[in-house]
Structure 1
Amino acid sequence: MLTIVQSDDFETEIQTPFCGTKSSIQLKGFPTFYENGEYVTAINLWMNHLINVKRAKNINSNVRAISRYWRFLESHKLSWKDFPTIKSNKPTYLFRNQDLLAAVKAGELSNSTASIYINHVIKFYEWAYYEGLIQFSKENKPFEVEFVSVKTTGMLAHINRNYVVRSSDLRIKVPRRTPEQSLNPLTEDEVKLYSRALKKQSIEFQIHQLLQLMCGLRIEEACTFPVSLVKRCNSDTYHVQISIGPHNGVNTKFGSVRTIEVPTVLMNKMHRYLISERRQYRECKGDKPIAELLITNRGKPYTPNAIQRHFNLTRSHIRNELNVHFQHRTHDLRATYGTFRLASLLDENIGLSPFDAMSLIMGWMGHKDEKTTWRYLNFINRNKASIRAVCFLDQVMDSVVNEYEDP
């Protein structure tokens, strides 16, 4: 069984080349992998490399990819170092075909996510070979290296029409989609359906999903939403504006700081949870106070992986028990907020111009490029029949927000 523990920062000694002097340096902690209680050296050296050598700001996708690959190896009793002669029997190809592509076909992963995961696995093997942790031969190798010609689309395309990049035959192609097609917000009926299914889940998962759906937070931003921002609000105000970023513990994309709007009813729901016996009991399981609002039954802050597992179970419930085709990811809740909230701002009764409405949404959602926000306006213009210019989310999610359940 694979277990991942976040290690603390640590200090280590280094020796200066060509002289006998020693010094110590402070290194950052990283996600540490254990398999059946044993330290997984190869993965942990890779994680240390990403954090303390490459200085990567965010390795969540690396962790998800490698942990998914390692669990696949574990379940199929495969070794990460052994590669049979027949390509289809190699663990990397089995992982690509039987796990990633199967998940894409079932709607559990997008093509782009599967492509990112397999690329992380490829990078891991390339690094392990460079560091001498694994040896490749003509017969014993995880993949075939290929060189792919890519068409140039920049300003100098008329001079150099193509350029060649190194790739592998493990790569997963991502179908080209228009910017508007990449958005997959929930429809009104789907929001109502999801709200009913959400009421049967734990209070922690409810709050996380509502932060995404009603505030436009990314999955990790909602996981790291801090206790310090939670307060009791008067019902006179409709929304509360708060600042989020690294300064108060929220892991925003690129470490940026932005102001978001939180509905008063959701803020009060979070406050009730904060002072509840349920949360206090969970916090007591840890050895120190937890800055994050949402705590698991093991006394740890929620992680994106844990949220994904809960979401998959909820999606399966909707598909199997309710017999409804529900083809969404957690990130689609954020897209749902963007489309419905922008539609509400463009309502004739409010009187905002498209430019002002776009500026507000861009700030609340933390878009660095205004082209990202324009996708929402284009999506609304193309789907006017399904996006009504009312704050629909506040209406349909009211029952979830105001009910305090501890299933």
Structure 2
Amino acid sequence: MLTIVQSDDFKTEIQTPFCKTKSSIQLKGFPTFYEDGEYVMPINLWMNHLVNVKRAKNINSNVRAISRYWRFLKSHELSWKDFPTIKSNKPTYIFRNQDLLASVKAGELNSSTAAVYMNHIIKFYEWAYYERLINFSKENKPFEVEFVSIKTTGMLAHINRNYVVRSSDLRIRVPKRTPEQSLNPLTEDEVKLYSRALKEQSIEFQIHQLLQLMCGLRIEEACTFPAKLVKRCDPNKYHIQVSIGPHNGVLTKFGSVRTIEIPTLLMNKMHRYLISERRLKREAKADEPIAELLITNRGKPYTTNAIQRHFSLTRNYIHNELNTHFQHRTHDLRATYGTFRLASLLDEKVGLSPFDAMSLIMGWMGHKDEKTTWRYLNFINRSKASIRAVCFLDQVMESVINEHEDLS
């Protein structure tokens, strides 16, 4: 069984070349892998390389890719460094064809996600070879290197029409999509379905998902939403506006500061949670004060990995208990907010021009490029399904938020 534990920051001694003295450096903790209680050396060395050498800001997809690959190897009794001569018998190709591509075909995984996972596995093997953890030969190698010609686009395309990049025959092709097709907001029926499933989840996960669905927050922003911003509000007010960014601990994209809108119904739900016995018990387990609102039962702030696990369980609940196919990511909740909220601003009763409505959405969602926001308008214009304003989201939210919820 593969388990992952987030290690604490640590110090290590280093020997300076041509010098007898030793010094110590502070290194960041990283996701540490154990298999049946045994330390998984190659993965953990790679994790340390990504965090403390490459200084990667986010390795969530790396963790998901390598853990999926390692579990696949275990279930099929394959070795990570033994590669038979026949390509179809190599573990990397078996993983690509029988796991990733099969999941894409079944609708359980996006082709872009599968491509990212496969690329991480390729990078892992390239790193392992460089560090001499594995030896490659003409017969014993995980993939074939290829050189792919890419057509140049842009101002100088007439001078240099193509450029060549190094790739491998393991790469997974991703169908080209228009910017509008890349949006995958929930339909009205899917929002209702998800709200039913959300009622069965923990209060912390409910709040996180509602921050994405009702406020358009990214997954990291909802995880790091600070407790000090939570307050009890006049229920007669519709929305309140708060500023988020590095100044109050919210991990916004590009470290930008922006103002978001929060429905008072959701803010009051967060306030009840803030002062609840449940949160106080969890906070008491922490070694130091926690600034974030949402706390795990171990006394730690929620991470994106934890939210992804909860979301996967919720998706399985929809499939198994509600007997419905539900192929969405947590980020699609943010897209749902953008489309429904923009549709509400464009309603004739509101009277806003498309330019003014776009400006508001761009500010609330923290889009750096207005082209990103225009995708939502194009999606609404091209969508055959009617989007009946944001009041629909309010109705769904009221079904999830219960004034008499148990927070003990």
Cα gap change, 1:218 to 1:298, in 2 (>3 Å): same
1:300 aligns with 2:296: no
Matches within 5 A, 1:12-91: 12-91=12-91
Cα gap change, 1:326 to 1:212, in 2 (>3 Å): same
Cα gap change, 1:191 to 1:239, in 2 (>3 Å): same
Cα gap change, 1:103 to 1:152, in 2 (>3 Å): same
Secondary structure, counterpart of 1:4 in structure 2: strand
Matches within 5 A, 1:75-154: 75-154=75-154
Q: Residues 234-289 of structure 1: CA distance to partner in whole angstroms, max 9, x if unpaired?
A: 21322222222333332322333322211111111111122222223333444444
Which amino acid is 1:314 matched to? Answer: T
Secondary structure, counterpart of 1:167 in structure 2: strand
Secondary structure, counterpart of 1:379 in structure 2: helix
CA distance in 2: counterparts of 1:243 and 1:63, whole angstroms: 32
Contact 1:202 1:406 in 2 (8 A): no
Secondary structure, counterpart of 2:297 in structure 1: coil
Q: Residues 335-354 of structure 1: CA distance to partner in whole angstroms, max 9, x if unpaired?
A: 10000011111122222221
Partner of 1:387: 387
Tell me how far 1:401 sits from its aligned partner.
2.3
Mean Cα displacement is larger for which, 357-366 or 291-300? 291-300
CA distance in 2: counterparts of 1:196 and 1:16, whole angstroms: 60
1:341 aligns with 2:341: yes
Tell me how far 1:111 sits from its aligned partner.
1.0
Which amino acid is 2:182 matched to? Answer: S
Which amino acid is 2:204 matched to? Answer: E
Partner of 2:196: 196
Tell me how far 1:11 sits from its aligned partner.
2.6
Structure 1 unaligned regions, length at least 5? none
CA distance in 2: counterparts of 1:234 and 1:267, whole angstroms: 10
Secondary structure, counterpart of 1:13 in structure 2: strand
Partner of 1:357: 357
Which amino acid is 2:14 matched to? Answer: I
1:255 aligns with 2:266: no
Mean Cα displacement is larger for which, 43-52 or 182-191? 43-52
Cα gap change, 1:256 to 1:89, in 2 (>3 Å): farther
CA distance in 2: counterparts of 1:222 and 1:102, whole angstroms: 32
Q: Residues 76-123 of structure 1: CA distance to partner in whole angstroms, max 9, x if unpaired?
A: 332222222222222212222222222222322211111111111111
Calculate the TM-score normalised by the size of structure 1.
0.93
Tell me how far 1:23 sits from its aligned partner.
3.1
Cα gap change, 1:46 to 1:375, in 2 (>3 Å): same
CA RMSD of superposed structures (Å): 2.2
Matches within 5 A, 1:197-212: 197-212=197-212
Cα gap change, 1:64 to 1:390, in 2 (>3 Å): closer
CA distance in 2: counterparts of 1:169 and 1:384, whole angstroms: 39
Contact 1:284 1:299 in 2 (8 A): yes
Q: Residues 376-396 of structure 1: CA distance to partner in whole angstroms, max 9, x if unpaired?
A: 011111126512345321122
CA distance in 2: counterparts of 1:56 and 1:338, whole angstroms: 29
CA distance in 2: counterparts of 1:275 and 1:102, whole angstroms: 46
Tell me how far 1:403 sits from its aligned partner.
4.6
Secondary structure, counterpart of 1:402 in structure 2: coil
Secondary structure, counterpart of 1:184 in structure 2: coil
Contact 1:192 1:397 in 2 (8 A): no
CA distance in 1: counterparts of 2:297 and 2:28, whole angstroms: 27
Calculate the TM-score normalised by the size of structure 2.
0.92
Cα gap change, 1:245 to 1:90, in 2 (>3 Å): farther
Q: Residues 48-69 of structure 1: CA distance to partner in whole angstroms, max 9, x if unpaired?
A: 2222222222222212212222
Contact 2:60 2:305 in 1 (8 A): no
Cα gap change, 1:306 to 1:55, in 2 (>3 Å): closer
Tell me how far 1:171 sits from its aligned partner.
0.7
Secondary structure, counterpart of 1:207 in structure 2: helix
CA distance in 2: counterparts of 1:97 and 1:303, whole angstroms: 31
Secondary structure, counterpart of 2:259 in structure 1: strand
Tell me how far 1:148 sits from its aligned partner.
1.0
Cα gap change, 1:254 to 1:390, in 2 (>3 Å): closer
CA distance in 1: counterparts of 2:385 and 2:116, whole angstroms: 35
Partner of 2:323: 323
Contact 1:203 1:404 in 2 (8 A): no
Secondary structure, counterpart of 1:71 in structure 2: helix
Contact 2:237 2:264 in 1 (8 A): yes
CA distance in 1: counterparts of 2:101 and 2:384, whole angstroms: 34
Mean Cα displacement is larger for which, 218-227 or 366-375? 218-227
Tell me how far 1:213 sits from its aligned partner.
0.6
CA distance in 1: counterparts of 2:92 and 2:301, whole angstroms: 32
CA distance in 2: counterparts of 1:71 and 1:256, whole angstroms: 38
Cα gap change, 1:77 to 1:225, in 2 (>3 Å): farther
Mean Cα displacement is larger for which, 77-86 or 284-293? 284-293
Number of equivalenced pairs: 407
Secondary structure, counterpart of 1:323 in structure 2: coil
CA distance in 2: counterparts of 1:404 and 1:213, whole angstroms: 22
Tell me how far 1:194 sits from its aligned partner.
1.7
Partner of 1:398: 398
Mean Cα displacement is larger for which, 175-184 or 255-264? 255-264
Contact 1:108 1:312 in 2 (8 A): no
CA distance in 2: counterparts of 1:79 and 1:135, whole angstroms: 14
CA distance in 2: counterparts of 1:32 and 1:256, whole angstroms: 31
Which amino acid is 2:346 matched to? Answer: L
Partner of 1:173: 173
